[in-house]
Amino acid sequence: MQHRIDIQDLLIWAFRTESVESRSQADIDALTVYWAVLALPTPHATLIRRFAREARRPDWHAGRGRCVSLDAVRRSRRIYTEWVRALVVLQRTLDGALTNYRVTGPSLEEQPWVFERMRA
């Protein structure tokens, strides 16, 4: 029986719990996740691996101080958007490819700052 799991949780499981990058006997599903991540373009694979290892998502709120550079805002939002898009690709790639998991998600907005501005 397959368990439903969000793509973010699956990545955290594979990279943190299973230590798929360094463990010689990692779970077969973790290995499948690992190879799917490595098949992404290098900048996206790097982002996915970094945030999966850290068990967090990129912060799109570039600095919350009084003085924030526009370049920093653009960079943090670009990173967040690329990360979400890579999650979508991985979810579609891995759903149906794993033995024990049915991959869902990501349940994130690609550009949450747009909706935040609309609510204000």
Q: Which run of H or of E encompasses 38? A: helix 28-38
The residue with greater pLDDT, 40 or 107, is 40
Q: Write down the pTM of the prediction.
A: 0.86
What sign does the dihedral 42-87-101-23 (CA atoms) show? positive
The helix/strand/coil state of 5 is: strand
Cβ pair 26, 13 in contact under 8 A = no
Average pLDDT over residues 30-36: 97
Other beta carbons within 10 angstroms of residue 29's beta carbon come to: 22
Q: Is 65's pLDDT higher than 70?
A: no
pLDDT of residue 21: 96
pLDDT of residue 70: 82
